[in-house]
Amino acid sequence: MSETELLRGRVLKTTSGFAYVQTDDGVLTCKVRGRLKKKDRRTDLVVLGDEVEVQPLPEGEGLVEKVLPRRTRFSRVHPARGGGHREDVLIANLDTLAIVFAHGDPPFHPRMLDRFLIVAEHNDVRPVIVANKMDRAEPEVTERFRRYRELGYTLHETSATDGAGIDALREEVAGSTVAFVGPSGVGKSSLLNALDPELEQAVAQTSTAHGKGRHTTRVATLFPFAGGYLADTPGIRELGLWQIPDDELDRCFPEMRPLLGQCGFRNCKHLSEPRCAIQDAVGTRIDPERYESYRRLVTGEER
Ligand SMILES: Nc1nc2c(ncn2[C@@H]2O[C@H](COP(=O)(O)OP(=O)(O)OP(=O)(O)O)[C@@H](O)[C@H]2O)c(=O)[nH]1
Ligand SMILES: [Mg+2]
Ligand SMILES: [Zn+2]
């Protein structure tokens, strides 16, 4: 078959051995061409969000012939068995990471939000913070969410239940590829349903179901939406640090960036070194809580 007869598509879901690819001819269930499989063992071959070229086969099937270069990758890196590293790409070609936390049930966890923000910064994916369950807002919690606006982050205050903030969120996500991440029970699937009831995402039956450690959403899946794609993902409990090197962490905190290079030592880790511009700014330009997130990450207390 010649190149021109291949269909361009987007990978909506992967299961062992198969990729479900959205094309102009509908969703095709695809296997991956054998010769593609041997190419590169350090990264996943075909992942959620990949742009691919597919040879269509009868009965809604197809063969992935080519994976186009990934514009961005939301990935973590593991030490590989035989030395070196292996990349675990969770979603390719992601534009925005919508980081969802709730006003309560489960409680807002700023330290974990900071970790998500760092991972987004490090992966060059634009983070957007979603403070859900606004219908249960408490002033102190709302205030803690709003501090992130002062850092320059986009914050959406929403309620999947009463519809507050949903129109603004819809405008935010339209036309791009957005993954909803955050702990189990914060309302990621509920938000997707509020954005588009046709998505029909399974939602926890009772609001405390997540307390038993169950995840309602089990596999990450991409859905076409408003000229772009939305991904629902299972709640992530342990984020770890995804092997972000120590000396790249300060750059992932936007409030630290203007001060970098002003410390007495060039390789300052901003922990207990003298003449440190970062430590000097804690309490003024840098929120002590954010510095504490940074400190825990660098010292490895939270990995
Ligand atoms: N009060 C209130 N409850 C909400 C809101 N959004 C979701 N919920 C409830 O919170 C519970 C969890 O919602 P889900 O949408 O399943 O949460 P999730 O983040 O997708 O959870 P996982 O799939 O386990 O990661 C459900 O009982 C929802 O009805 C909201 O804005 N306000
Ligand atoms: Mg869910
Ligand atoms: Zn310093």
Identify residues whose C-beta is under 5 A from ligand 3, the ion.
263, 268, 270, 276, 278
Q: Whose CA is nearest to atom 14 of ligand 1?
A: 187
pLDDT on residue 82: 74
- Contact at 8 Å (CB) between 226 and 174? yes
Residue 234: per-residue pLDDT? 78
User: Could you tell me if the CB of 130 is within 6 A of ligand 1?
Assistant: no
Is residue 217 lining ligand 1, measured as CB closer than 6 Å?
yes
What is the per-residue pLDDT for 207?
56
The predicted pLDDT at position 2 comes to: 52
How would you write the pLDDT of the chain (303 residues) with one tens digit per residue?
555 589 999 999 998 889 999 999 999 999 998 777 666 666 678 999 999 999 999 999 999 999 999 998 887 766 667 777 777 778 899 999 999 999 999 999 999 999 899 989 988 899 999 999 999 999 999 999 999 999 999 999 999 999 999 999 999 999 999 999 998 899 999 999 999 988 877 777 765 555 545 667 677 889 999 999 999 887 665 555 556 788 899 999 999 999 999 999 999 999 999 999 999 999 999 999 999 999 998 988 765
Burial of 174 (0-12, 13-18, 19+ CB in 10 A): middle
Would you state the pLDDT for residue 133?
A: 98
Domains and CATH numbers, the chain: 3-67 (2.40.50.140), 92-232 (3.40.50.300), 246-299 (1.10.40.50)
Cβ of 133 below 6 Å from ligand 1:
yes
